[in-house]
Amino acid sequence: MTEYFPVLTLEQVYGAITYYLVHRTEIDHYLQQADAKFDALRHTIRQADPHFHAKLVRARQQLQMIQECGCVFKQTPTSTTLS
C-alpha cells in the first residue's frame, strides 16, 4: 500500500486496516448503501435523457475501439470515419 500511496506511513496503513477489520459490518453496509444510491442515480439519469445516454455509449465504444486497435477517428461534418 505504501508503494501506491507514498504519502502514507506504514503505521497509517495498518491503522486503516485495523479500523476496517474492527468496523467491517458498518463499513460494508455503508458501501452497499452508496452503491445502491449510485445505481439508482445512474438509472434516473439514463431515463431522464435516453438520447444522451445512447450518445455516451457510442462514444465509449469508439474510445474502446481506438484503444484496442490504435486507430484514429476523423470527424467530418456529417459522420465519423475510421482511418
- For residue range 16-64, what is the model confidence (pLDDT) as tens digits? 999 999 999 999 999 999 999 999 999 998 999 999 999 999 999 988 8
How far apart are the C-alpha atoms of 36 and 69, rounded to whole Å? Answer: 35
Closest among 33, 66, 7 to 75, alpha carbons compared: 66
CA–CA distance, 65 with 56 (Å, rounded to integer): 14
Q: Mark out the alpha helices in the chain (DSSP H runs).
A: 10-22, 24-48, 50-69
Query: Where does the pLDDT of residue 10 fall: very low under 50, low under 70, confident under 90, or very high at 90 and above?
Result: very high
Does the structure show a pLDDT above 80 at 78? no
| pTM reported for the whole predicted model | 0.56
Q: In angstroms, how far is CA 76 from the centroid of its own chain?
A: 30
Per-residue pLDDT at 74 exceeds 70: no
